[in-house]
Amino acid sequence: MAIDASQTGGAIAPVAVRQWAPRDEVAPRLGEPGQEVLSASSNGSEGCIGGWDLVYPPGEVGAHFAFGVDVRWEGVRDGFESTAVEAIWQDAAGRVVDWAPLWEWAPAADGDWVRMHGMLPNVSGAAWLVVRLSLRWSPTGRVCWRAARLDPVARPEPRRLRLGAAHVQFTAEEQTLERHAARFLKVCEEAGRAGVDLLCLPEVILSWGLPHARGAALYDQAVEIPGPWMEPFCACARRHGMAIGFSVQERAAELVHNAGVLIDADGRLAARYRKVHLAHQEVWQGVTPGREFPVVEIGPARARVAMNICMDSSEAESARLPARLGAEVLLLPIMGDHRSDGRARAAPRFDPERWQLIQRMRAMDNYLYLVAARNHGEGSGVFGPDGSVPALGDGSAAVVHADVDLAGREQSWSGAPFRDVGWAVRRECLYGALSGGTLPRL
């Protein structure tokens, strides 16, 4: 069959192509297996599920493979979510020993198809690798697959990164924008000497602690992005080969934003993020919220980095959206979290246990590293996608840091990485209420 015959450049041919369905009542109608394009059409049942199994030799333990297949659908109820591609590692008796969904996609060579792809390591010594192609849960339509290809590849290289969080200890002397900048540049230098690759500083570092400002006074304290005030930070980044992220009050025409600034290791402005979820005081002060969650790639590790600022942390979507866009590291400049600062009215008091719970779960829920920098220092640190806390400050040290490997694949009991499972089982077609679907429309 054509799917076996186009073996060039070391691609591995399947030893068998089989039909699959859990039972006859929900089995789709399948095309002929010898065709260049495999297909599955709904049988009219809402529970229709089934398709094709491509059976491959698994290679040795520790072998890595890259798999890709083009997918096209027409008339199915939930579009892309009515399809699935899964890797099932089996023992000699056909029992499942490992499983991993393939959820990453890219446009195929022509606009009518999507290329599903993923990395498949044989970590269990399985006897067979079965790649399952499925139509699922649609009473209508058809799904097609073509150009399935399995290639042996080298084990991925580590993508090591030293993540750091920093704050400054303020003195009783008069606070000014210039003095704040000088203090934070000093801790940036300390982080650079410690070999930090990506440093997070706290929220509104130039104006925090200045006399409370509203209206025109707040506007006067704000700075333009980019602007000459950035150059010392850019120079520090270049000097140490270290990316730096923080937030400032930004002046843009008549507007003021609480804006995140990410300077890359070459000393260039890599991204600007404008805080989306404002504290009520900011609303009263005339701050304007942003509307985007940019994700940028930085450094030799090709780390995909995004940012939240303070109150953003209270809304789960603030981290979920950049994570869905591929973020692996989320920087969080933050004064404090109202959920962790106690519940005594008008008397906030930092609760370290609640603080850690919030940050650990935000990192776990979104399968990324979260780097939080509190203005007060205590609690600043690095929180891992596996629920760990690789670095945590008690406020005594200006900089805390941790070494991580972005190529690591923390696996669940099923053998699949947590990240892959989490993204693959989502059903975004049902989440309209999270994007305003329940709000009144006039």
Regarding whether 236 and 141 lie in a shared domain, the answer is: no
Give the pLDDT confidence score for residue 4 in this predicted structure.
38
Regarding whether 171 and 153 lie in a shared domain, the answer is: no
The predicted-structure confidence for 324-357, as pLDDT tens digits, reads as follows 999 999 999 999 998 988 666 667 788 999 999 9
**Residue linked to tokens 């900089």:** 399
Residues with Cβ within 8 Å of 420's Cβ and at least 6 positions away in sequence, in order, are: 100, 101, 102, 103, 118
Regarding whether 182 and 139 lie in a shared domain, the answer is: no
The pTM (predicted TM-score) of the whole model is: 0.92
Give the pLDDT confidence score for residue 414 in this predicted structure.
78
Residue 322, Cα to own-chain centre: how many angstroms?
Answer: 6
SS3 state at 233:
helix
Spatial contact of 194 and 401, defined as CB atoms under 8 Å apart: yes
Regarding whether 285 and 184 lie in a shared domain, the answer is: yes
Calpha distance 436→431 (Å, rounded): 10
Residue 437 counted as domain residue: no
Regarding whether 150 and 265 lie in a shared domain, the answer is: no
Spatial contact of 401 and 191, defined as CB atoms under 8 Å apart: yes
Residue 98 counted as domain residue: yes
Residue 435 counted as domain residue: no
Give the pLDDT confidence score for residue 194 in this predicted structure.
98
Strand partners, 116: 69, 105
Calpha distance 26→23 (Å, rounded): 6
The predicted-structure confidence for 161-190, as pLDDT tens digits, reads as follows 999 999 998 766 677 889 899 999 999 999
Alpha-carbon distance values, 196 to 27, 205, 240, 242, 319 (Å): 54, 19, 9, 6, 23
Alpha-carbon distance values, 250 to 151, 221, 289, 308 (Å): 49, 9, 11, 15
Regarding whether 153 and 116 lie in a shared domain, the answer is: yes
Q: For the domain that residue 97 is a member of, what is the CATH number?
A: 2.60.120.260
Q: Structure tokens of 327?
A: 């973020």
Residue 422 counted as domain residue: no
Q: Structure tokens of 375?
A: 């203005």
349: left (phi over 0), alpha (psi -120 to 50) or beta: beta
Pairing of strands 16-20, 49-56: antiparallel
Mean pLDDT, the chain, as a whole number?
A: 92
The predicted-structure confidence for 301-326, as pLDDT tens digits, reads as follows 999 999 999 999 999 999 999 999 99
Spatial contact of 170 and 157, defined as CB atoms under 8 Å apart: no
CA nearest to 75, candidates 142, 18, 10, 134: 142
Give the pLDDT confidence score for residue 84 in this predicted structure.
96
**Residue linked to tokens 């850690």:** 356
In eight-state DSSP terms, residue 154 is P
Find the domain containing 319 and state its range: 160-406
31: left (phi over 0), alpha (psi -120 to 50) or beta: beta
439 burial via Cβ count (<10 Å: 0-12, 13-18, 19+): exposed
User: Would you state the torsion angle of the CA atoms of residues 226, 231, 237, 239, taken in this order, to the nearest 10 degrees?
Assistant: 150
Residue 370 counted as domain residue: yes
Mean pLDDT, range 2-7, rounded to an integer: 36
Mean pLDDT, range 211-222, rounded to an integer: 75
Regarding whether 84 and 20 lie in a shared domain, the answer is: yes
Regarding whether 150 and 170 lie in a shared domain, the answer is: no
The predicted-structure confidence for 364-380, as pLDDT tens digits, reads as follows 999 999 999 999 889 99
The predicted-structure confidence for 287-302, as pLDDT tens digits, reads as follows 999 999 999 999 999 9
Instruction: Pick the last residue of a domain from 157, 180, 205.
Output: 157
Regarding whether 305 and 263 lie in a shared domain, the answer is: yes
Residues with Cβ within 8 Å of 434's Cβ and at least 6 positions away in sequence, in order, are: 317
Regarding whether 70 and 204 lie in a shared domain, the answer is: no
Q: For the domain that residue 355 is a member of, what is the CATH number?
A: 3.60.110.10
- φ, ψ of residue 111 to 5 degrees: the values are -75, -10
Confidence class for position 7, pLDDT limits 50, 70, 90: very low
Instruction: Pick the last residue of a domain from 157, 172, 204.
Output: 157
Burial readout 159-185 (b: 16 or more C-beta within 10 A, e: otherwise): bebbbbbbbbeeeeeebebebbbebbb
Residue 291 counted as domain residue: yes
The predicted-structure confidence for 71-117, as pLDDT tens digits, reads as follows 999 999 999 999 999 999 999 999 999 999 999 999 998 888 999 99
Mean pLDDT, range 397-408, rounded to an integer: 95
Residue 416 counted as domain residue: no
Calpha distance 381→393 (Å, rounded): 6
Calpha distance 259→261 (Å, rounded): 6
Strands across the sheet with 38-41, in order?
29-30, 38-41, 142-153, 64-74, 114-121, 104-107
Confidence class for position 67, pLDDT limits 50, 70, 90: very high
Regarding whether 395 and 250 lie in a shared domain, the answer is: yes
Give the pLDDT confidence score for residue 210 in this predicted structure.
78
Regarding whether 167 and 135 lie in a shared domain, the answer is: no
Residue 150 counted as domain residue: yes
Domains held by the chain: number: 2
Residues with Cβ within 8 Å of 179's Cβ and at least 6 positions away in sequence, in order, are: 173
Calpha distance 170→416 (Å, rounded): 47
Give the DSSP letter string of 76-126: -TTGGGGEEEEEEEE-TTS-EEEEEEE-EEEE-SSTT-EEEEEEEE--S--
Q: Say if residue 228 is preceded by a cis peptide, omega within 30 of 0.
A: no
Instruction: Pick the last residue of a domain from 157, 189, 214.
Output: 157
